[in-house]
Amino acid sequence: MSKTIRIGTRDSELALWQAKTVQKQLEHLGYKTELVPVKSTGDIVLDKPLYEMGITGIFTRTLDIAMLNHDIDIAVHSLKDVPTLLPKGIVQVAVLKRGNVNDTLVFKHNEEFLGAKEAVVATGSLRRRAQWLNRFPTHTIVDLRGNVNSRLQKLKDNEWNGAIFAAAGIGRIGIRPEESINLDWMIPAPAQGAIMITALDEDEFVKNACAELNHEETEICTTIERQFLNKLEGGCTAPIGALAYIKDEEVHFKGVLLSEDGSKRIDVTRVEKLGKHENMAQFCADFVIERGGKRLMDNIKNATKQTNVVSTKSLTEDQRLLFNEKVVAESTDFIKISLNRIHPRFLKNEIQNVIITSKNAVEALTTNFSATELQFKNIYCVGRRTKRLIEKKIGKVTHVEKNAENLAKYLIEFIEGTEVTYFCSDLRLDTLPSILEENHIKVNEIEAYQTKYDGQKVDDSVEGVMFYSPSTVESFVEKNNKEVIAFCIGDTTAKEAKKHFNDVRVSKVPTVESVIELVNLHFV
């Protein structure tokens, strides 16, 4: 037990309470531990795009990244906040015995408003909102976000009748007000009240240590609830509740799907013998879907909201889920790529030095030629993702830089010979060839692909645009004469954006997910 287990946690009061609970239990078993509060992805160096790792959780991805970078050994989460699909290489290693599963109403003065036609209740949860309006359709729901302490303070500072919290959250840190009642009728979020530990799948020592903390009954019940959520959700955030419990060797389950306004509701209940419950979640999800759940989910997905952010690149469903609730994003490709036919004469003789600045150039080369035909002595490239693709499809990269200007400066100092072949687009920045030619390095440009502008006019409601290359900026301004916040993936893109926009922001990490994080920070 000589290894010290580094416990990663967010730095909120509740998160630290949960992490310290895990720390005490591990140390009671004789393990050495260390708490590691982790703040932000911006300071973490990544060598892999987040979307390749499958990182999606708003509340968990910072710890996921820290773990994949080996900065922590385990992460402690509220299980209800954890996406149902974990990133590659990360596994659930334990679920602690569950706490209070209920939602709790904290009221301002008394409970009499529950019988009133008009009342104001605060919550940031779609599930709580929908169930409350289903029961009290004439009440008004206001949005409430922040940590537990700040939400309680907002309740004091506003003329609301009450606000809804997870009973486990306010109970664990000892701040549950006397003016509160559990809402036994409200079906909780899947896995509410449970604390979960994740670790790297490859770390057998940590997995075995944490397995001693696992509470089997809680694991069985939360797994069923999360499977139900996964089978219903389909990439869409929706008002879904689920609760399973074990009594007299039987698993009891109840689940619910509602419309966002609570006017439509589909319930399901099921009881199975313990050990015969494997298909319980699938049965219950199918039951809901067959009774109008699919139509309800489609309506939620297609709800009409004003777009306030546009992405100039199509986003995956997992990437869309990273936006916070205040962001209504649309995405489409403002750039279309057409690969050119590259004549074999260009590869007739071995090329000593090759420059590749995009994945599109890699695709063009590998579409035209086999890997054995692409015999380059030195390959210089821009971007880690481009480097990975080159080494997967062509061969070893001699040197990589984060942008074209830095690569040009490197080549001036270290290039072998005085000539390079640059596989580029018909639209490209002049920075790299200009710098090289000014320093007496000959640049042979081969047009590997064509970049075509395919921008569209955006709505007046759009406040921000996400840009991933200088070409996406140019494509946007070709169709739009509009001042927006430019959220940019890197410095080269930002340099072009500054020619057109006053407010330009650059992500700290060159990934789509990091740009999304920039957007979320603005729309807090």
Helices (H), 240-315: 280-288, 294-301
Q: Taking a C-beta distance cutoff of 8 angstroms, is the pair 166, 193 a contact?
A: yes
Q: At what angle do helices 280-288 and 216-233 cross, to 10 degrees?
A: 30
Q: Residue 202 burial (CB < 10 Å; 0-12/13-18/19+)?
A: exposed
DSSP string spanning 65-116? HHHHTTS-SEEEEEGGGS-SSPPTTEEEEEEPPP----EEEEESS-SGGGGS
Beta-bridged to residue 114, according to DSSP, are none
Rounded Cα gap, residues 426 and 359, in angstroms: 15
Q: Are 22 and 76 in contact (CB under 8 A)?
A: yes
For residue 504, which of 512, 515, 513 has the smallest C-alpha distance? 515
Q: Catalytic one among 81, 267, 318, 454?
A: 81
User: Distance (Å, rounded) from C-alpha 323 to C-alpha 519?
Assistant: 8
Q: What distance in Å separates the CA atoms of residue 452 and residue 448, rounded to the nearest whole number?
A: 13
Give, to the nearest 10 degrees, the angle between helix 359-368 and helix 384-393: 10
What is the distance between the terminal CA atoms of the chain, rounded to a whole angstrom? Answer: 43
Scored b (16 or more CB within 10 A) or e, 328-367 reads bbebeebbebebbebeeeebeeebebbbbbbbbbbbbbbe
Q: Is 393 helix (H, G, I), strand (E, B) or coil?
A: helix
Report d(CA 77, CA 255) in Å as an integer: 23
Distance CA(276)–CA(512), nearest Å, equals 43
Does 81 qualify as catalytic in the annotation? yes
Q: Do the bridges between strand 74-78 and strand 195-200 make them parallel or antiparallel, or are there none, so unpaired?
A: antiparallel
Q: What would the two tokens of residue 82 be?
A: 């954890």
Helix-helix angle 148-157:13-28, to 10 degrees: 150
- By annotation, the residues acting in catalysis are 81
